[in-house]
Amino acid sequence: MGGVTFLDAAGVRAPLRCHHAAEQLGTCLEIRPAGDMVRRALTICRVADLFHLTA
């Protein structure tokens, strides 16, 4: 997701759904690379801590 330049509610919802699915499987979701827009949107929505965000 390093090239993402715009992220709306659906763009935040999709990784949240994946996070919940991964959690049910006993694993975690890693977003890599997490560009600035992705980090900013997830932080504003207060869900960034749910993900392993890497540069």
d(CA 37, CA 25): 28
Q: Strand pairing partners for 14? A: none
End-to-end CA distance of the chain: 10
Q: Are 33 and 1 in contact (CB under 8 A)?
A: yes
**Mind listing the pLDDT tens digit of every residue in the chain (55 residues)?**
888 888 899 999 999 999 999 999 999 888 888 888 999 999 999 999 998 888 7
pLDDT at 17: 95
Residue 14 CA: distances (Å) to CA of 36, 47: 17, 12
What is the reported pTM? 0.80
Alpha carbon 2 to chain centroid distance? 11
